[in-house]
Amino acid sequence: MLEQDLQFVETAFKKYYFEHFDLLSIPNRASEREFGYQKFNGGMNRHISIKSNEELRLMLITNIPSDVYCSNAYYSFPNLPMSEKDWKGADLIFDIDSKDLNLDCRINHTCIKCFSCGEVSILQSVCPKCKSTKIEKKSLTCKNCIEGAKNEVIKLYTILEEDLDIKKEKIQIYFSGNEGFHIHISNSPYQQLGSRERNELVDYIMFRGAMPETFGMKKSNPLRSSFVDIDTKGWRGRVSKHIYGSKSKRSKAITEIISTGYSVFQQRLDNLKEIIGVKIDPNVTIDIHRIFRLPGSLNSKSGLSKVLCENLEKFNPFQESCFIDDENTNVLANCPTQFTLKNRIFGPYKNEKVTIPKYAAIYLICKGLANTTIQN
Amino acid sequence: MLNLGPDEIAKYSFLAEAGQYLKDKGFSLVQFGSDSDLEPIVEKAFSRITTAIQKPNYNSEPINEQLDLEVFSFLIAVVLLKLCGKYTLIKRFSLAEARRAEKFLEKDLGKVSTPTEKELAQRIIQDLFSITIKIEEKDFIKIPISDYITHAVQFHEREWKLINRRVEKGMVFLTPHETVRLIRKELDRYINSKIISANTPPMVSGFQSYVEKLTLFSKKFEVPTIVSTEYPPCIKHAIEVLEKGENLPHSGRFLLATYLLGNGQNIEQIAPLFKNAPDYNEKITLYQLHHLKGSSGSGTEYKCPSCERVKSKDLCFATSDCDGIINPLQFKKKKTLNA
């Protein structure tokens, strides 16, 4: 980021942390957690211990970080090096990102920026100006992406509640501040699980590794298979429901499964993971030492906040997570696709000087699609 | 520790505190080597070892009148193994003892047992392996998911994956057989560690010939290995991707680096492999390799991920040569059964 853009964004971030500190709160058992932050154009600072809201406020105002993180893990000594921290357990965390959902709309709101010449253009595999393949994708999330991510959150929520028996009040859903949702679960029976064990939970949630026998099919003698009912709880019931459609179609569907054989059914189950499995980022959930974005903090990829979603269905991130003010700002914008913030549509901009509210300017600068050079 | 009656200790002899048990019964170890009346016990101990080693399925139902014989023969077997000092024999013996205990546990957990036996089996599983068990009607046992996963991750067969289990409201449903199977490895490990940590007594006269026979016997089980110079397919793939200048994901780079480090290569040999990566930066590569080796940062040495983990990251390209290995590093040393 250019020096003057950096100053502009840092000032806006500082103002946010000053005026909206109430949106941040240190999580429970804060003194046992590791905190970390990144500065614009800087590296990661971690192994920090913060015990109170005052300490957090001081850290934010003094350092004006681009991103703030807090561990899902609890340690005896959170500020010591990793090997000396003494891990005590970790909250279960999930990350659902719309970029992992392979949605058709992505092509319409993803553009590229060339690492070599800085050219910005619509999505393509090489830079149209210098033909370099070293390009960076920039996505400006749309409503459809958010709806897709919400559906995944709902699927996850069902499994957490029904299968893993996690109580509603322990599940907190946050908008990540960019393209998806973070789900935090504290104080559950899964706190003590290590990384390998969490990977097993991940496979369960993503519907990975299912075998035909689980649903009643016998490999050696398919005719003696005994398929489970639609009403069965857990994945066995969900899969049956998906395959049969309804109780009345069950026997016809079973006849077909038996006639096509074991390996076809296995293939069908493998394909099902893309449809009924929950598309979480496995790396996040299996990481028991992760520092995860702090609720209420700003996301430097967008300038939007990570906020709690009280009502997921009605939640509108482009409205409810946008807290930067609307002061008119002049920027040189180069954004080939449209985006919506606070119910206002912006763009496309073709390397042009525009006057837009500060929240939109910050959004574009964070995405690397605008700069403040014209203010000189 | 659990309080056990004589019939229970005969079934689960490994729970006995050896020295204390002999003392309570008024015996010393030396007596077993010199008293001809006690020789059948030593004989039984010896045959218990040899049977176990050849066929890890020692199947003896304790007979009420011979409960002491059962426990004594187990304890003397442990003494003989300690005096012999061959790890292979201890390993095979503890496995056989674990299988034997498994059978009793399974039977006791099943519906044919009396409530006391059922309760004991439950307590053994709870106390030794921290699994909370709820016995349900219709032959099912319910275990909390977190307890289940903690033990099931050690299995590599797909049927043990949580996705292939009946799961409801935080519980996994298992049959008594599956429940016992779940703790098989740990039961084996428990018995094994108990034998390993037992004190080795001075040689008892009368035990010498048994110990010599065991030493001779153990030679049968020494397995030679061959060392392959070839890389496993997952590593070959990772190297090919980098050679083509394509992007290898972070998990692939981690796999490659930890494999090569685990294989004894040094950082200077490994670093050039990453030169073709689209985002190559020499300084960062060296920093990361040093970090993985544990020579910088926290000092933690990162190990090569298991085949299961490699598979979950879509980096596994297994061929039949990979059969029987659970970590890419084992590809190098495959056992040759007929060598």
Inter-residue contact B311 to B327 (CB < 8 Å): no
Phi, psi torsion values for A319, nearest 5 degrees: -110, -50
Does residue B3 carry a pLDDT above 70? no
In a domain, B120, yes or no: no
A95 included as an active-site residue = yes
Which residues make Cβ contacts (< 8 Å) with residue B281, sequence separation at least 6?
none
| Shared-domain flag, residues B196 and B257 | no
Distance from CA of B153 to the nearest CA of A (A): 6
Structure-model confidence comparison of residues A217 and B297, the more confident one = A217
* Residues A201, B278: C-beta atoms closer than 8 Å: no
Catalytic one among A281, A287, A325, A326? A281
Domain count across chain B:
2
| Shared-domain flag, residues A91 and A33 | yes
Q: Find the angle CA(B73)-CA(B76)-CA(B80) to the nearest 5 degrees.
A: 130
Return d(Cα B147, Cα A28) in angstroms, integer: 25
Using an 8 Å CB-CB cutoff, list chain B residues near A192: 146
* Residues A233, B171: C-beta atoms closer than 8 Å: no
Beta-carbon pairs below 8 A across chains A and B: 88
* Residues B153, A213: C-beta atoms closer than 8 Å: no
**pLDDT, tens only, A90-131:** 999 999 999 999 999 999 999 998 888 888 888 888 888 898
Domain that holds residue A81: 3-100+142-203+281-324
| Shared-domain flag, residues B207 and B323 | no
Structure-model confidence comparison of residues A375 and B102, the more confident one = B102
Nearest to B161 among A133, A203, A236 (CB): A203
Tokens for B242?
Answer: 């980098």
| Shared-domain flag, residues A29 and A57 | yes
| Shared-domain flag, residues B327 and B193 | no
| Residuewise pLDDT in 10s, chain A (376 residues) | 888 999 999 999 999 999 999 999 789 999 999 999 999 988 899 999 999 999 999 999 999 999 999 999 999 999 999 889 999 999 999 999 999 999 999 999 999 988 888 888 888 888 888 988 888 888 999 999 999 999 999 999 999 999 999 999 999 999 999 999 999 999 999 999 999 999 999 999 999 999 999 999 988 888 888 888 888 999 999 999 999 888 888 889 899 999 999 999 999 999 999 999 999 999 999 999 999 999 999 999 999 999 999 999 999 999 999 999 999 999 999 999 999 999 999 989 999 999 999 999 999 999 999 999 864 4
Q: Is the pTM of this model over 0.90?
A: no
| Shared-domain flag, residues B279 and B315 | yes
A104 included as an active-site residue = no
- The CATH number given to whatever domain includes residue A193 is 3.90.920.10
Could you say which residues from 196 to 255 on chain B have a Cβ atom under 8 Å away from some Cβ of chain A? 251
| Shared-domain flag, residues A213 and A71 | no
Among A93-107, B45-59, B287-301, the range of highest mean pLDDT: A93-107
In a domain, B166, yes or no: no
Domain count across chain A:
2
B161 touches chain A (CB under 8 A): yes
| Shared-domain flag, residues A223 and A250 | yes
A312 touches chain B (CB under 8 A): no
**Span B100-129, average pLDDT:** 79
Return d(Cα A235, Cα A277) in angstroms, integer: 10
Return d(Cα A199, Cα A204) in angstroms, integer: 9
Residue B305, helix vs strand vs coil = coil
Could you say which residues from 71 to 100 on chain B have a Cβ atom under 8 Å away from some Cβ of chain A? none
B277 touches chain A (CB under 8 A): no
Distance from CA of B216 to the nearest CA of A (A): 41
Using an 8 Å CB-CB cutoff, list chain B residues near A189: 144-146, 170
Residue B167, helix vs strand vs coil = strand
